[in-house]
Structure 1
């Protein structure tokens, strides 16, 4: 049964890729992709309770289904489903029907790589899977073929590939360090590395960890390796921005979490967790600086992603049952919330014909439903009650109070207040400020919408509801299943070490 679910999750996107390339028609492509996204999401929901009995291994140990990987699959499949619904309404207005089948082939291929990464049991193969996410998503970032999008795609692949190269070097060092104990040939699984870690040379273990964290931290978008993220997230089509922020970043973060487990087993002191905490705090600081002074609506969402990846890094860096539980809860909440935020940004960007915040005003008049959904999402993404991110951030803050990194708790709290004020100040202007006279006659800032009358359609509004409702429910109710699930992940991550 479990293997069947894994095959469904992996084969459904492959079928979409093949069908899109064979049929070469836009309408069948978009609905085949949506059907695959629904199937993947349902399979992941069924997989979640099964993963608690794990870890389970398949295909000679190259695939692992454990609680941590299954949780990331839930985040990825949720975003894939929401993005696939939104893409039907959004991509139609780009007048790219001739190339639309290629978009959906790439989109499903991107989903496949992000679904594959969390269940890779071999550290080397995991690196390959993460690199494949870069190669596939690069073509999606520049899909619209504008000068800015092509430049963003080049920056994305150069910066991320440089970072991933460091992660490869760290992976090789881990292999070499363990080979001095296990012999020249062995299966480089997570469990094997964890078992060998206590006997590995501490200098090799420390250097290898530094390299993999900087490498995969580049993919996550942690500061100061974040420079690719604002461009790639802001220049790609909105369904692509959603996958980059809500799915891709999580698949790299799981690598950092697994390597933290190995470093704990190696007993090399506080340095590994201190590094992750410092990178998380730096990401929050950089995000706060750029959010307050941001002028581009999609870059505002991108810097918000950097903020929340910093929060995730702090949660995993603090460790312990509370830190892990808060990080996992925040991962799901952010995936849902950031999808909602990019959906709203995509709607206003297409109707107003600009990404400039100063040129977008009185959103509720044009969007009486989706506009208010977007505003509710803006309140939620800042960590305000009663939404779910408030609860996950409180849990992470509490976790940090029981660690040597108490300074990071107070810094996180201060920066979250700054971000709350800065982020919602932009939305005050978007929703409640009148159009300044100097813009009313400015031909470069007038509404030059490429969107037809009636946009956004139900395809663009429905996923906003599907993202917001769980955020509100999860802000009031933490299901008992989540408690058991988070406890199982925390126990597995602490095995062999003392976080």
Structure 2
């Protein structure tokens, strides 16, 4: 097994090579398999990476940094990248209007993976911002890849709203740097470590304003309400494998920046206000998700609002803080990555089969597609946080953190809204599985490429719900200690 630093270089090199070869060869079949090989190697290198990182590794002139938190987000990203790459082989071949452009799709898809793998390992907050901005540019082309009016409109909305948010994040980053100049001089190496070291010497109002800006800015990318308005359109209009990457991987890459800035204010002794802001935004995101989930008609829009819900749950975990809150949030990031990938894969399958985005047209799913339908239904139960799946365990851990840390009101609010979402979400699936038979039966078959990644998602969700390895919990405690987000006093 290569060293962690060599592993990161290889992880970044594989999608880079896939981009170049896909564009040079310009043949769809070559491009799809090149991307799949790159995703497979990336996952193989990332799967053990969090357990092989001890301390913080800094290299490449101080520009790249790897700690257990970055390795964990890299693993979540690599998992979704592999699952979505497998699924894309079956899904994209069924898109007749895109067949002549598939090599462009896979080059963009690998580029999207590369930008998300770059972001967590940036040691400079300014370069981290650039990487997050690059994910927006690349993924916007993927959202509008089908060139339909709705897709192009969603891509433009995505660019405008997220760019506005990232402009605020850039201003917050500049203010963080400016705060450090009063202690370190007009020019210094801005790193996450230097920000933490200088934070106790910066005026608290400046730190709070800076954090508010980065929270709103990167929170827009995370999809926290009320900055979430781009998310339902972008997630629902892009191809299903792109939707899985947007929801299962990209949101985590934006969340890591928010949490690192949260740690900066914790070092300055200002943990109460930023953590309370995380709790408030997480609670409001759950409310917005609950209201919209119950009223959705589009299958992928339903999954998109579910992403708002689960990013709210993650924000609550980091807001509650302490080993329990952080562990629950970290575990939920992986569980959501697996589960939401499965849900978008199932939605994409049904949209192709029934030739409609509307759930009203999807009827008797289990009768027509017993295998795929069963996995999708199991995924729907899992995504609502029901046992015995892993999301129940991660959400329960976050609830415990809220009650034990004294934030009982937020924990009660979270529990209440999770029940509402459970009922509303599964009501849609009850109609799709047990409603009246559709007037026109589905006429498309679902390939193994579209079913296998669903199995690869549901199996670990079930296993991790029944058994949490000691090594995984020890890793969460190690990351929590490094993040240094304590319980609100």
TM (norm. structure 2) is 0.98
* Alignment match, 2:308: 306
Per the TM alignment, residue 361 of structure 1 is displaced from its structure 2 partner at its CA by: 0.3
CA distance change for structure 1 residues 286 and 497 in 2, over 3 Å: closer, same or farther?
closer
Is the aligned partner of 1:16 residue 2:3? no
1:63 corresponds to 2:84:
no
Does the CA-based 8 Å contact 1:10-1:115 persist in structure 2? yes
Separation in 2 of the partners of 1:278 and 1:404?
15
The aligned residue for residue 467 of structure 1 is: 457
Can you list the C-alpha shifts for 1:278-321, whole angstroms capped at 9, x where unaligned? 00001000000000111111100000000000000000111100
Q: Equivalents in 2 of 1:347, 1:268: separation in Å?
A: 48
Give me the whole-angstrom Cα distance separating, in 1, the residues matched to 2:82 and 2:442: 30
Match of 2:65, SS state, is: strand
Structure-2 residue corresponding to 1:325:
327
* Shift, 1:3, TM fit: 2.2
TM-score normalised to structure 1 length = 0.96
Distance 1:56 1:293, change over 3 A: same
Is the counterpart of residue 456 in structure 1 residue 446 in structure 2? yes
CA shift for structure 1 position 496: 9.8
**Which residue pairs with 2:128 in the alignment?**
126
Query: 2:352 maps to which residue?
Result: 350
What is the Cα deviation at residue 4 of structure 1?
1.5
How far apart are the structure 1 equivalents of 2:128 and 2:269? 24
Q: How many pairs were matched up?
A: 486
Contact 1:261 1:497 in 2 (8 A): no
Any stretches of 5+ residues in structure 1 without a counterpart? Answer: 441-445
Q: After the TM superposition, which residues 273-284 of structure 1 pair with which residues of structure 2 at under 5 Å, given as runs?
A: 273-284=275-286
Pairing 1:224–2:226 present: yes
The answer to whether the 8 A contact 2:262-2:271 is kept is no
Pairs within 5 Å for 1:249-398 = 249-268=251-270, 270-398=272-400
Between the aligned partners of 2:485 and 2:240, the Cα distance in structure 1 is 40
Matches within 5 A, 1:147-186: 147-186=149-188
Q: Identify which of 450, 463, 466 aligns with 1:476.
A: 466
Name 1:242's counterpart in structure 2: 244
Is contact 2:50-2:69 (8 Å) kept? no
Q: Classify 1:260/1:269 alpha carbon distance in 2 versus 1 (closer, same or farther; 3 Å).
A: closer
Shift of 1:357: 1.1
Superposition map of 1:480-499 within 5 A: 480-494=470-484
Q: Which residue of 2 aligns with 1:111?
A: 113
Q: Which residue of 2 aligns with 1:89?
A: 90
Deviation at 1:23, TM superposition (A): 0.5
Contact kept, 8 Å, 2:18 with 2:110, in 1: the verdict is yes
1:427-480 per-residue CA deviation (whole Å, 9 max, x = no partner) reads 000001113xxx73xxxxx4575x4xxx21110000000000000000011111
